[in-house]
């Protein structure tokens, strides 16, 4: 049995990086416990406040953010925290070498429904602040709060999966996750079809046409509405996730956030042999200009992502 601490010491000599990941795992275990009790504690509703992006915060968005903040404040290696729920980057330890960017609770619109939500994180070196390309990430991961609590994490090598035991240990269950290159599943919010560009419409129509259409095979569609849950399914059995630029999100640059949603997920998917793109560029090559910047996201099975890229080249 490999636990998280053993895996970290085999993956990196950087003790600070290992501690940053352990802090996020500890925050994840604490958030998992809070989520289990949340319906009983009456915590699934709104906080009564908006975040900097104008989205209504759930009480659990705020609680999860506080839990992450507490764990990182106690870690002298962390210099800066960027969070979806915090307007500005927060300075923590002045001697810290690392930056963490986090979506403390992803998919929080699903909280009333007992559907999988998650915590996403990205770790960067403190080299001139948090506005760094995803390619510069030192590590990334997410915790998925579903029937099991799973931590998916990658430094530079494989994307590895751990599950939280009853005794509070993170036990490795998949050493080297692999996203199958071919897949017959796609994930997109189809209610947005009227806003889509020609490339997205073309790709999705080909899939829906099935075995007699140009794709020559049958597709299934799945959309949980929690990025963590949708990406976790793709990591386990393949598929493609799309939140493309569309006519409604174009002025914002997309829907999902670059630093703490798109980059860490692209890092994990690429570590598992998958691909990621904005449609025209690898997500990991996007130069950030704002900590809450949004970006189009297409990632998952390599063959499917390439098909979407071909549509963007044609259109």
Ligand X SMILES: O=P(O)(O)OC[C@H]1O[C@](O)(COP(=O)(O)O)[C@@H](O)[C@@H]1O
Among 77, 155, 227, 235, the residue binding ligand X under the rule CB under 6 A is 227
d(CA 14, CA 173): 23
Least Å distance between CB 159 and ligand X? Answer: 19
Q: Which is nearer to Mg ion, 107 or 300 (CB)?
A: 107
Does 185 interact with ligand X (rule: CB under 6 A)?
Answer: no
**Nearer to ligand X by C-beta: 79 or 301?**
301
CB of 138 to Mg ion, least distance (A): 21
Q: Does 103 bind Mg ion (CB under 5 A)?
A: yes
Q: Does 239 participate in binding ligand X (rule CB under 6 A)? A: no
The residue number whose beta carbon is nearest to ligand X equals 227
Binding-site member from 225, 282, 284, 293 for ligand X (CB under 6 A): 225
Q: Is 65 near ligand X (CB under 6 A)?
A: no
CB contact set of 135 (below 8 Å; sequence gap of 6+): 284, 285
Please tell me the count of residues contacting ligand X according to CB under 6 A.
Answer: 10
Q: Is 246 in the site for ligand X (CB under 6 A)?
A: no
Nearer to Mg ion, 20 or 31 (CB): 31
What part of residues 77-116 is at the interface with ligand X (CB under 6 A)?
84, 103, 106-109
**Closer of 154 and 294 to ligand X (Cβ):** 294
Q: How far is the CB of 105 from Mg ion (least distance, A)?
A: 5
Check residue 189 for interaction with ligand X (CB under 6 A). yes
Return the range that interacts with ligand X (CB under 6 A); candidates 68-76, 141-149, 175-183, 224-232.
Answer: 224-232
Q: Find the shortest distance in angstroms from Cβ 58 to ligand X.
A: 9
**122 Cβ neighbours under 8 A, 6+ residues apart:** 100, 101, 102, 134, 137, 139, 140, 259, 260, 263, 264, 267
Q: Residue 301 binds what, of Mg ion, ligand X, none (CB under 5 to 8 Å, by partner type)?
A: none
Nearest distance from residue 187's CB to ligand X, in Å? 8
Give the angle subtended at the CA of 272 by the CAs of 302 and 192, to the nearest 5°. Answer: 50
Residues that bind Mg ion (CB under 5 A): 84, 103, 105-106
Residues that bind ligand X (CB under 6 A): 84, 103, 106-109, 189, 225-227
């Amino acid at each position: 049995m490999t636990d998280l601490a053993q895996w970290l010491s085999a993956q990196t000599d950087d003790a600070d990086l290992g501690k940053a990941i352990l802090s996020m795992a500890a925050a994840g275990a604490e958030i998992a416990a809070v989520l289990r009790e949340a319906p009983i504690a009456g915590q699934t509703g709104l906080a009564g406040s908006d975040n900097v992006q104008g989205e209504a915060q759930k009480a659990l968005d705020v609680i999860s953010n506080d839990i992450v903040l507490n764990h990182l404040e106690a870690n002298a290696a962390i210099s800066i925290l960027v969070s979806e729920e915090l307007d500005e980057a927060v300075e923590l330890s002045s001697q810290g070498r690392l930056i963490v960017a986090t979506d403390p609770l992803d998919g929080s619109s699903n909280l009333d429904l007992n559907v999988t939500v998650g915590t996403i994180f990205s770790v960067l070196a403190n080299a001139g602040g948090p506005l760094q390309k995803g390619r510069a990430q030192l590590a990334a991961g997410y915790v998925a709060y579903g029937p099991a609590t799973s931590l998916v994490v990658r430094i530079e090598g494989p994307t590895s999966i751990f599950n939280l035991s009853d005794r509070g240990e993170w036990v490795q269950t998949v050493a080297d996750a692999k996203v199958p290159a071919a897949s017959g599943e796609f994930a997109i919010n189809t209610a947005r079809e009227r806003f889509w560009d020609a490339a997205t419409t073309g790709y999705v129509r080909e899939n829906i046409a099935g075995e007699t259409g140009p794709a020559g095979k049958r597709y299934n569609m799945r959309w949980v509405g929690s990025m963590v849950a949708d990406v976790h399914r793709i990591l386990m059995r393949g598929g493609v996730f799309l939140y493309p630029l569309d006519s409604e999100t174009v002025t914002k640059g997309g829907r999902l956030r670059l630093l703490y949603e798109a980059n860490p997920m692209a890092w994990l998917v690429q570590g598992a042999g998958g691909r990621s793109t904005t449609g025209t560029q690898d997500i990991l090559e996007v130069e950030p200009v704002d900590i809450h910047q949004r970006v189009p996201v297409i990632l998952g099975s390599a063959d499917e992502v390439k098909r979407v890229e071909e549509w963007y080249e044609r259109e």
